[in-house]
Structure 1
Amino acid sequence: MPPGTLDRAAPSLFRHGPSPRARLVLYGALALFLMVADARFRVTDPLRTAVATVLYPLQWLALQPVQLAGSGLGYLKTLQQTQQGLDEAERRMAQMAVQTALAEELARENAQLRELLALRARLETPAQAAQVLYDAADPYTRRVVIDQGQVAGVEPGAPVVDALGVLGQVTRVHPLLAEVTLLVDRDQAIPVLNVRTGARSVAYGDPAATQGGGLELRFTPGNADVQEGDLLTTSGLDGVYPPGLPVARVTRVERRADSTFARIWCEPLARMDGARHVMVLKPPAPELAGPPAPEPPASAQGRRPRERAGDGPGSARGARKAEGRP
């Protein structure tokens, strides 16, 4: 037999490697060892860092089409939203233009009628801007702290409003800060007017009405004309809140046969939990108060509590005393 034709490979008996079961056990033990070593000793961190560095350019190239497609879709979506917002803004501007013209006409008519009837002109309420810093630390009250105080001219009792309605009232003033008690506090009450019916009532704070607190119209007769959705504004009868400020909206009316009064819950329009910027109104002007009480005459200030009979101004003895005779 020629030498080149000899089969020099190992026989099949010696070519057999480890059995599949042995390979499974070996690889499983190796994987377990690597996981434990990586978790305890971080032995694979350098390898992982090197692999990540080498694969980063490939990953960046692979992500470019995805990012480009996402940017294009985002641009188109933003363009569509901007166009919709522009259309909505133009529509609102048109509505507000009509409302502004109507309001100006009504204001002129109101001024003419008030002048014709010789009524007192409406007083403008000065206001100053403030920012809500944080909620008060007392967990049993609903108060917030604003960044304006005595130095800025804030006075106790001043109403506080936000962009949506009445927020509360200043109850404590510090030199640089002031505490505002919200309308939903249990100790707060505000006179309100039902815009639909013109009926006046008083709304009391009810912290447990809803998650953020609400108001309740108490002592309202069961047959009163109050419906869900009615708008309540300040009536101005208390001399603290100017009339016409939006306060709340009726959300639920409960009438029971065994009770004389109806239970009416309202939701405040102002943001009791999320207000950031507010307006502090000045307290009522002195001319809003009633006329001062007349002072007693000087002769009555020194008068004795009880006069003797015959000493009155209409008696003879009283006439002699007035003339200076004994």
Structure 2
Amino acid sequence: MNFANTPSFASQGLGPGTRLAMCIAASIALLIGDSHFGLMDRARDGLSVLLYPVQRAVNLPLAAGRHLGDFFVSQAELKAENDRLRSLELAQSGRLMRLQTLERELAQLKALNQLKVGRDNGGQLAEVLYTARDPFSYKIIIDKGLDAGIQPGLPVIDEIGLIGQVTRVQPLTSEITLIVNKNQMVPVMNLRTSQRTLLYGYGGGIEVRYLSTASDIRPGDVLVTSGIDGMFQAGIPVARVTHVDRPAGAAFARVLCQSLAGVQSSRYVLVMPQQPARPPQPAPQPEPASKKKKTSDEEDAG
């Protein structure tokens, strides 16, 4: 093939300098026309519409990465916030339970203080420290002892009724035997019928013993201290009758009761003062002389 007669492309058309000058002139003309007359507005609008899918496709990986990062950051922040709120909820729950306990104790103290003020001979407020080592002995220890003038035998009540009796006193503490102790006995009276009887503990509960099957007692009756023993003041609420069983042929009825006071739940108690001394019981009357003589004559005749 002969390349000698082939025309050269470099020598065809305008020269490079001329082309550059024309491009510069066209650029300046477009800049001036666009800035003053807005010639390229529509062209830009159309071009932006045409290039929008390309722009979205180019920005899609970057946006997906940013959204993915935001997702993990949000999850971490939500987890941290959830943990913080959970800890706060637990703390608030603990404060709420302590507040409710304090409210109950405050109400109990107010009621006991009213009982103390309302009685002429007052009483000694005390706090329950702990229960005895043997849980089946049903005894508690309070923070008042000989230093506060506590003496054995004094009754102990809460804001509702009788819970027990002081059985041992130490210099700074005292032992209270609860009425549900199996060796504890309280003389009581039926508030409805005024019938006196004896209430015994049997190790966790209380019951009325030695009550005739013909006695007028029924569930719901309230039993209060009768005061005939000289130890418990009369009128202290003790128990409510829950069940009455009258077995056929039995001499005594079985009467189960429920304590009115918080025997094993009270935090504060009131130790009642000692009862005023009662006059001594009268001495037995001597038998008449005639009766004695008659009895001796009968023995001689026999």
**Distance in 2 of aligned mates of 1:141 and 1:239:** 25
- List per-residue Cα deviations over 1:244-287 (Å, max 9, x = no partner): 1110000110111120110001111111221110001111123x
Uncovered stretches (5+) of structure 2, i.e. residues with no partner: 1-70, 90-118, 284-302
Structure 1 residue 224: Cα displacement:
0.7
Deviations 1:123-149 (A, max 9, x none): 833201000111111345211000000
1:274 matched to 2:291: no
Distance 1:162 1:179 in 2: 16
For the residue of structure 2 that corresponds to 1:58, the secondary structure is: helix
CA deviation vs aligned residue, 1:144-193 (integer Å, no higher than 9, x gap):
00000000111111110012210100000000000000001111111111
Counterpart position of 1:58? 75
Q: CA deviation at 1:58?
A: 3.2
Cα offset, 1:197, TM superposition: 1.0
Q: Deviations over 1:28-72 (max 9, x none)?
A: xxxxxxxxxxxxxxxxxxxxxxxxxx956534348979x7xxx9x
Q: Deviations over 1:225-246 (max 9, x none)?
A: 1110111111111111111111
Partner of 2:248: 257
- Aligned CA RMSD, in angstroms, stands at 3.1
Q: Secondary structure at the match of 1:217?
A: strand
Please show how residues 51-200 of structure 1 align to structure 2 within 5 Å. Answer: 55=72, 57-61=74-78, 124-200=120-196
Q: Post-superposition shift, 1:216?
A: 1.1
TM-score by length of 2: 0.55
User: What is the match of residue 223 of structure 2?
Assistant: 232
Q: In 2, distance between residues paired with 1:180 and 1:163?
A: 16
Q: Taking every aligned residue pair, what percent have the same amino acid on both sides?
A: 41
Q: Secondary structure at the match of 1:227?
A: coil
Q: Which residue of 1 aligns with 2:239?
A: 248
Describe the superposition over 1:84-141 as per-residue Cα deviations: whole angstroms up to 9, x where unpaired.
xxxxxxxxxxxxxxxxxxxxxxxxxxxxxxxxxxxxxxx8332010001111113452
SS of alignment partner, residue 201 of structure 1:
strand
Per the alignment, residue 217 of structure 1 pairs with: 208
Distance (Å, rounded) in 2 between the aligned partners of 1:247 and 1:55: 66
The total of aligned residue pairs comes to 184
With over 3 angstroms needed to count, the CA separation of the structure-2 counterparts of 1:187 and 1:257, relative to structure 1, is same
Structure label with greater radius of gyration: 2
Whichever residue aligns with residue 230 of structure 1, its letter is: D
In 2, Cα distance between equivalents of 1:243 and 1:266: 19
Cα deviation, residue 292, structure 1:
8.4
Counterpart Cα distance in 1 of 2:72 and 2:198: 71
SS across alignment from 1:223: coil
Mark the CA change 1:170 to 1:293 in structure 2 (over 3 Å): closer, same or farther. same
1:141 maps to amino acid: S
Describe the shift of the 1:63–1:138 C-alpha distance in structure 2 as closer, same or farther (beyond 3 A).
closer
